[in-house]
A and B are shown apart, each in its own frame.
Chain A
Amino acid sequence: MRPSAVLALVSASIVAGLPALEAWGTSKSAPQPRAFLARIAPADRIRQALNRLTYGPRPGDVERVGAMGLEKWIEAQLHPESIPENPVMADKLRYLDTLDLSSSQLVRDYPSPQVARQMLSGRISFPTDPEMRILVARMASKDQGRVQDGAAADPNAPQPKTLADLLNPDQVRSLATGTPEERLAAFDALPAIKRDEAIVAMGQGMRRALFAAAPPSLRRKLEMADGPARVVALDLSEAKLLRAIYNERQLAELLDDFWFNHFNVYLDKGADRYLVTGYERDAIRPHVLGKFRDLLEATAKSPAMLFYLDNWQSAGPDVRQGRPQARRGLNENYARELMELHTLGVNGGYTQKDVTEVARCFTGWTIDRPLLGGPFFFDARRHDDGEKLVLGVVIPPGGGVLDGEKVLDILARRPATAHLVSRQLAQRFVADDPPQALVDRMADTFLKTDGDIRQVLETMLHSGEFWSVGAYRSKMKSPLEMAVSAVRAAGGKVDFAFALVNQVARMGQPLYRKMEPTGYSNSSTEWINTAGLVARMNFALQLAGDRLPGVKVDVADNASPGTPGQGIRLGSPDFQKH
C-alpha cells in the first residue's frame, strides 16, 4: 500500500495500479489512523469550518469569521434563529411563489394536464383567475383527442387563440426575431390586454428567447405557459440553489440537505410532484437541529413519504373496502425502509418478521385524497388492530394510530439508530470513513439527550477528529457543493437558478430526483468518476466565462496574467475537494 492510503482510505480502491486481488477481503475497519489524531494548524481551523459547515467560503469569509471569533461563529450556526435572514435571499425567493402554498393549493393553482382535464370536464371547479383559465383551456385542448365524448366541456371554458389570431404579422415577426432585449421591447409594445394570451399562444422557443431579458413577474408567466405543474418542481430546485448560495444560516441549509437526503423522497413519483414542497418546508426544515424523534414522526406522517413508500395504500388483512375491485392489504415498503434507512440500519437487528409487524402497525396511516394534495389522516377502518410484536416489544391490540407512534418511539431510541445517524453525520461532515471512536461518542450524546441533533453536532464539532489532518480537505464535494461553492467563490450574482440546477444534474446529482429511498451517498467516493469530472470542468469554465444563464460573475477576475484563470481554478482537482 502506498503511504498516502492512510489519508485516502476509501479512495484506495480506485487507485489505479492496486492489484485487483488485493482489493477484496481487505477490511475497512482498520485501527484509527493517526491522521485523525493529528490536529490541523490553527490557521486552517477557520477554513475547515467554512469548508464543512457552509457551502464553501465567499471572498472575505475567512476574515469575517476571524473577526467574529470561530467559536462564536459556530455557536451562531448551531442557533440559526440568532442569525438575521439575508435580505438578498428573501428578495430572490419572493418570486418563487409556490414555496409557501399548501399542497392542495398547488394542485389547483399549478394544475397538471390531468387536473386541467378534470377542470374542463367540470369535475374540479374551474379557476377564477382569468390568466389561469386561458392556460387551463390551452393545456386541455392539447390532448383533446384523448378527452372522451362523454366528458362534456365546461361551457365557460375559454377557447385558446393562436398568435395569428391575436397579432398582426409585423408584431409576430418582431417577437420572433432579434436579441432578447429587442423581443422584450416588441412584447412590451403589444396592447396590454393581448400580452397574456400572446404568452400562451407563442411557442416554447419564443418564450425561452424572451426569458433572459424578462423581469421576474414576466418570467413567471413564461414559465407557467410551459406547464404550471413544472413550475412547482422548478421553484423547489431553484430555491435550494438560492438558499445554499445566499443563506447566512449555512449549517441549517446543509442540514436541510442532509436530512432530506436521509429521508429521501422522489419528486417525480405521481402525487409527490405536489407533496415535496410541503415535505421539505413542514417536515424537514423545522427539525434539522431538533429532536430526531420529532423529525421521524414528521416524515412518517408526511403525505410525501406516505405516498413515496406506498404506506398510504397499506391496510390490514381483514379490511373490506366498499368496492369489491379495491382489494387492499399489507404493503411492507415503508416499514422496511423505516428500519433499514431511517433508523436502525440494515444490520440493526431486525428480521423479516419485524418488517411485517411494523407494517401492520402502520396500516391506516394514509392520505386524504393524495391526488388533490390532501393531508395525513388515520383511517381506523384500514388499521389492523390486532396484537403485534416489534423487536421483542408487545404492542397490545386496540392501539389504533398509537401503534405506529409506539414503533417510532422504539426505533428513535435504539442504540442502533443512534449509531446509524451519528455515523452518517460524521461521514457527511468529518470524513468518508469516520473514526469509530468519534461515532461512538456522538451516539452516546444521541442516547443521553433523547436524540437531540444539535447536541450530537456539538459533540462532533468539539471533537479532535473534526479538526484533524484526517478530516481536513479529505472529502470530494458533491455536485451540489461543487456548483454552489464555485458560485460563492467567484462572487457570482444569481438572477435565476435553473441553469445551475441543470448543471448539478449533469454532474450527477439531479435535485429532488434520486429515485431510490437510500438518497445520495454521504461518502464522497461516489462522485469521483470521469463523467462527473468532465461535467465539473465544463461547468467551471462556463461559470467563470460568464456564460451560464442567470449567473453573473466578474470576468475581469480571469485576466491576471501568470496565474491560472478562474475557470481553471474552479475546475482544478484542488477545488473539487473540501
Chain B
Amino acid sequence: MGMHLGDMAMIDRRIFLRNSALAMVGAGTAPLWLERALYASGAPAPRKKILVAVFQRGAADGLNVVVPHGEKAYYRMRPTIAVPRPSAGSPDAAVDLDGFFGLHPSLALLKPLFDRQHLAIVDAVGSPDPTRSHFDAQDYMESGTPGLKATASGWMNRALPGAAGKVSPVRAVAIGATLPRALRGGQSAISLQNLADFQVRDAEAAQQLEQMYASATDPAMQSTGRETFEAVSMLQAIRKQPYSPAGGADYPRCPFGDSLKQIAQLIKAEVGLEMAFADIGGWDHHVNETGPRASQGQLASLLAQFGQALSSFWTDMGDRMADIALVTMSEFGRTARENGNRGTDHGHANCMFAMGGGIKGGKVYGQWPGLEQGQLYEGRDLALTTDFRDVLGEIVVRHLRTPSAAGVFPGHSPKFLGLV
C-alpha cells in the first residue's frame, strides 16, 4: 500500500509539530489532546488495514482443536483423548461446524463468530519442512522461509510496507519481553510488556539517555534506542488511560488475554498500528493432554483462555473488525495417535484460524487428507495439504493489499484459498 505525496507532507508536518510540541512541554507531560491532535489532525486519514498474528508456541494438537469427528480413524487412534462426536447439550462433545469438523468444546465461544462468517478455519495446514523440532519449526514459521536458516528477517517485518518518510513508531508491536522473530528486520518494530509500564520513569534522565542512544556507536543499539524513545512518547497519552473494553468484552485474566486487550487498546487509540503480534505458550502436551472428560485437563483449560481471548477481542473491536484480520498459527501439529501417556508427540500438519470482517468465514478450508494409515505423513501424523504461506500470503496481499507476496515469502508462490 503506497502512500500519497500529500500524506507524506502532512505526516512530516505532524512529526515536526510533535517533536517541537513535545520539546516545548517537556517529554513526559504532553497532554492527551496534543497527542491526539498530532496524529489525527486535519481530515480523518483513511484507516489502515491491520494484521494481528497469534502464535501458539509448543505445537498445539490441531486434531483436538478442530476435531474431525466424521473420521472413524480419529476415534480409533485416540481411545482415551478423542473429543466425543457432537451431541446436543453435552459439555464434552465437539461443537459441530459442518457435519465433519467440530470445535473443541472449550472453544464454544468461537462458534458464533464462525456462524456469522467472521471466522474461517484452515485444516491440514502448516510448514512443509519435515522438522519436528519446536525451535526450528517456530523459526521457519516466523521467518516465513521453511528450511532456510539464514533468513535474517521475519515475514511480518517484510510485510510492512516500506516507508520513505516518518511513520508511526508503533506501527508494528509485539506484546512481550522480547521482539519475536516474525517482526525482526529492516522496518522498525517494537515490543512492550504492558502499556502502563512502557516509560522511562525519570523524565530528566530519559532525555539524557535518549541522546546517548542517539549517538551510540552500535547501530542496533542506536536504532532500538530511537524506536524505544519514539514509541514511549507516542504512547504517553494512552498509557495512563484506564481501558474499558466495549460491548461487555470480558478478556480472560491471563497473559494472552492481557496481550489481546492491549492490542485492542492500541488499535482504538489510533496511533498508527498496522501489525501486532501476541503469543500464547504451553501447548506441548506429551502427558495428560486431556482430563477425565474432554472439557477438562490441560488442553481444555488452555483452549478456554485462547477462545475467550479471541472472542473478547472480536466483541471489543466491534465494527472496527472490518479493518482487522487476526490469524493464528502453531509450529506443527501432533501425532495422530495418542502416545502412552494420554498425550501426543510431535507431528506435522495443524490447523489455523483467520478472523475478521474481511475474512470469508463460516467454512473449513483446505483439503482433508484423511487419517487412515496410508494417508498419514510418515505413517504417524496428519499430512499437509496447505502451506501456511498460502494462508498468510493471501492475507498479506488481499487484506493488507501488498501488491505481491514475493518479497514476504521469497521462493514461494502462494496459492490463495479464497478466504479473504
- Listed in ascending order, the chain A residues whose CB lies under 8 Å from chain B are 2, 4, 8, 11-29, 310, 313-315, 317, 327-333, 336, 340-341, 346, 352, 355, 476, 506-509, 515-518, 525-535, 537-538, 541-542, 545, 564-565, 567-568, 571-574, 576-577
- Rounded to whole angstroms, the CA-CA distance of A509 and B206 in the bound complex is 23
Question: B192 near A564 (CB under 8 angstroms)?
Answer: no
- Rounded to whole angstroms, the CA-CA distance of A313 and B345 in the bound complex is 13
Nearest-neighbour CB distance to chain A for B230, whole angstroms, equals 9
Question: B339 near A331 (CB under 8 angstroms)?
Answer: yes
Nearest-neighbour CB distance to chain B for A548, whole angstroms, equals 13
- Rounded to whole angstroms, the CA-CA distance of A28 and B152 in the bound complex is 9
Nearest-neighbour CB distance to chain A for B58, whole angstroms, equals 8
The stretch of B18-26, B31-39, B216-224, B303-311 that contacts the partner chain = B216-224
Looking across the interface, which residue of chain A has its beta carbon closest to that of B227?
A: A530
Contact among A27, A29, A573 for B225, CB-based, below 8 A:
A573
Nearest-neighbour CB distance to chain A for B279, whole angstroms, equals 11
Question: A15 near B223 (CB under 8 angstroms)?
Answer: yes
- Rounded to whole angstroms, the CA-CA distance of A542 and B187 in the bound complex is 32
Question: B209 near A568 (CB under 8 angstroms)?
Answer: yes
Question: B152 near A24 (CB under 8 angstroms)?
Answer: yes
Nearest-neighbour CB distance to chain A for B218, whole angstroms, equals 6
- Rounded to whole angstroms, the CA-CA distance of A576 and B224 in the bound complex is 12
- Rounded to whole angstroms, the CA-CA distance of A317 and B224 in the bound complex is 53
List of B residues within 8 angstroms of A530 by Cβ: 179, 190-192, 224, 227-228, 231
Is B341 part of the contact surface with A, judged by Cβ < 8 Å? yes
- In the complex with contacts A4-B219, A531-B178, A12-B152 CB distance below 8 A: yes
List of A residues within 8 angstroms of B152 by Cβ: 12-13, 23-24, 26, 28
Contact among A17, A330, A525 for B339, CB-based, below 8 A:
A330
- Rounded to whole angstroms, the CA-CA distance of A18 and B205 in the bound complex is 30
Besides A531-B198, A573-B213, A577-B221, 9 more A-B contacts (Cβ < 8 Å) are A8-B218, A16-B186, A20-B187, A24-B410, A516-B58, A528-B221, A533-B213, A541-B201, A568-B209
Question: A534 near B286 (CB under 8 angstroms)?
Answer: no
- Rounded to whole angstroms, the CA-CA distance of A537 and B221 in the bound complex is 13
- In the complex with contacts A14-B224, A20-B186, A534-B192, A332-B345 CB distance below 8 A: yes
- Rounded to whole angstroms, the CA-CA distance of A19 and B231 in the bound complex is 22
Question: A20 near B134 (CB under 8 angstroms)?
Answer: no
- In the complex with contacts A352-B378, A515-B281, A573-B218, A314-B340 CB distance below 8 A: yes
Pairs A–B under 8 Å by Cβ, sample size 16: A14-B220, A18-B186, A21-B410, A22-B186, A24-B143, A24-B151, A310-B286, A332-B286, A346-B131, A515-B282, A530-B224, A530-B228, A531-B179, A535-B193, A535-B197, A573-B216
- Rounded to whole angstroms, the CA-CA distance of A2 and B218 in the bound complex is 12
Question: B150 near A28 (CB under 8 angstroms)?
Answer: yes
Question: A328 near B341 (CB under 8 angstroms)?
Answer: yes
List of B residues within 8 angstroms of A541 by Cβ: 200-202, 205
Question: B346 near A332 (CB under 8 angstroms)?
Answer: yes
- Rounded to whole angstroms, the CA-CA distance of A572 and B216 in the bound complex is 9
Greatest chain A CB density within 10 A among B131, B177, B227 is at: B177
Contact-size category for B = 35 or more
List of B residues within 8 angstroms of A508 by Cβ: 177-178
Question: A327 near B57 (CB under 8 angstroms)?
Answer: no
Nearest-neighbour CB distance to chain A for B405, whole angstroms, equals 13
Question: B136 near A516 (CB under 8 angstroms)?
Answer: no
CB contacts under 8 Å to A, within B166-202, are: 176-179, 184-188, 190-193, 197-202
List of B residues within 8 angstroms of A14 by Cβ: 184-185, 220, 223-224
Question: B212 near A313 (CB under 8 angstroms)?
Answer: no
- Rounded to whole angstroms, the CA-CA distance of A29 and B224 in the bound complex is 25
Contact among A509, A526, A534 for B197, CB-based, below 8 A:
A534
- Rounded to whole angstroms, the CA-CA distance of A336 and B347 in the bound complex is 13
Question: A331 near B135 (CB under 8 angstroms)?
Answer: no
Greatest chain B CB density within 10 A among A11, A525, A530 is at: A530
Contact among B188, B219, B225 for A11, CB-based, below 8 A:
B219
List of B residues within 8 angstroms of A516 by Cβ: 57-58, 134-135, 281
Contact among B136, B162, B198, B232 for A20, CB-based, below 8 A:
B162
- Rounded to whole angstroms, the CA-CA distance of A517 and B148 in the bound complex is 22
Question: A531 near B176 (CB under 8 angstroms)?
Answer: yes
Question: B135 near A534 (CB under 8 angstroms)?
Answer: no
Nearest-neighbour CB distance to chain B for A577, whole angstroms, equals 7
List of B residues within 8 angstroms of A568 by Cβ: 205, 208-209, 212
Contact with A along B50-69 (1 / 0, CB 8 A): 00000001100000000000
Greatest chain A CB density within 10 A among B212, B224, B232, B343 is at: B224
Is B375 part of the contact surface with A, judged by Cβ < 8 Å? no
- Rounded to whole angstroms, the CA-CA distance of A571 and B205 in the bound complex is 9
CB contacts under 8 Å to A, within B385-418, are: 407, 410
Question: A567 near B202 (CB under 8 angstroms)?
Answer: yes
Nearest-neighbour CB distance to chain A for B95, whole angstroms, equals 27
Is B254 part of the contact surface with A, judged by Cβ < 8 Å? no
